Amino acid sequence: MRFALLFTLFVALIPFVGHTTAIRFVAEDLPPYHYLDKQGKPTGALVEIAEHLLTETGLQGHIEIMPMARALHEMRERDNTLLLSWLKTPERAQNYRFLGVMCHVQAYLIGLKERDFSLKDLNSARAHRVSTIRGYYSERFLRAAGFSEEHELVLVSHYQTLWHMLFKGRTDLVLTNAQTINKELNALGLPAEQVERKMVVPNFPSELHLAASLSFDPQRADLLKHALAQLKATGKYQQILAKWQLN
């Protein structure tokens, strides 16, 4: 109750300057976080959180689903655009605004249960073909660990391709978070019971943040940051994650 009152006072004290342009939340197709439903409407756990942020702040805005490369371009080039979920790294923290944690993910190397691997650490995985999505931080992470396309690194453009390649034997391991696996495989008609976590990937960033460029209006950034904190303080944030089985 006290937090809500403080937030209301905070909003009231911010002058309504430069708030006439609607803001945009952009994100890739990544269920259950953000994706398009059968009617082509954005939905998902973080979409629902974004809708609550608009309600709480009184800001005008909408949510768009698009390829990750385009989403990053839009966020970087347009001062009214936010990326709904982005891994926070030390380098990015210096060049972008991070307004709060939207959710946590843990990275794993995923493989077929029928395949046996002796994985002691990330370096031992270099004896196998490892796949991830081109342009993701995971690509840079693997390259920094010594992986290369000339040898064991296999890059694709979308998560659907990752799973089809794994089941067809065109790659051995997939670097991804474990929370979206079942929904992704079920959507593709692939048997989720045939894959398993082979190894947790250490030292991989786990926080997905609401992010914007440095040119994004700082007043609106503060509004969104405090609204997200309020959602968490009131328990509404946790209820949304529980609804989408993302606790």
The mean pLDDT value of the chain amounts to 90
In tens, the pLDDT along 220-243 reads: 999 999 999 999 999 999 999 999
| pLDDT score, position 200 | 94
Segment 52-109, tens digit of pLDDT: 999 999 999 999 999 888 999 999 999 999 999 998 888 899 999 999 999 988 899 9
User: 209: closest CA among 154, 135, 137?
Assistant: 137
Q: What phi and psi values does residue 245 have, to the nearest 5 degrees?
A: 60, 45
Query: Which pair of tokens denotes residue 172?
Result: 């051995």
| 107-200: CATH number | 3.40.190.10
| pLDDT average, residue stretch 32-49 | 95
pTM for the whole structure: 0.74
CATH number attached to the domain at 2-105+206-243 = 3.40.190.10
- Checking if the pLDDT of 184 tops 90, the result is no
Residues 6+ apart with CB under 8 A from 206: 104, 105, 106, 107
Contact 241, 103 (CB under 8 A): yes
User: Are the C-beta atoms of residues 96 and 26 closer than 8 Å to each other?
Assistant: no
If you average pLDDT over residues 193-209, what whole number do you get?
A: 92
Alpha carbon distance 6, 149 (integer Å)? 52
In the chain, where are the structural domains located? 2-105+206-243, 107-200
Q: Which residues pair with 123 in a beta bridge?
A: none
Tokens of 70: 């385009």
Examine the pLDDT at 174 and tell me if it is beyond 50. Answer: yes
SS (H, E, C) 120-179: CCCHHHHHCCEEEECCCHHHHHHHHCCCCCCCCEEEECCHHHHHHHHHCCCCCEEEEECC
Mean pLDDT of 98-122: 93
Band of the pLDDT at 20, cuts 50, 70, 90? low
- Are both 2-105+206-243 and 107-200 of the same fold? yes
Quick one: how far is CA 147 from the chain centroid? 23
Cis geometry, peptide bond prior to residue 67 (ω within 30 degrees of 0): no
